[in-house]
Amino acid sequence: MPDRLYATDNADFERLLSLGFTESEAKRLLYLRDHVDEQVEYREILEESRRLNFIRWLIEHDRISR
């Protein structure tokens, strides 16, 4: 895990510190946030969710029937 934060993370980092997280906890949370989509299970859940949302849209717009 890199020790440096990107400029865009500074506000989030400061917010986490203000909420009582330690510096190392805040860095870890920001790292996890930026890398969560690398996990296979997360990608699979996201793909399934998108398919279900599309099917829901098709039904709601009378493109297919139940």
Q: Which amino acid is at 40?
A: V
Q: What is the DSSP letter of 39?
A: S
pTM over 0.75: no
pLDDT digits (tens, 9 = 90+) for 7-43: 456 899 999 999 999 999 999 999 988 888 788 888 8
* Nearby residues of 60 by Cβ (< 8 Å), 6 or more positions away: none
Where residue 45 falls among pLDDT bands split at 50, 70, 90?
A: very high
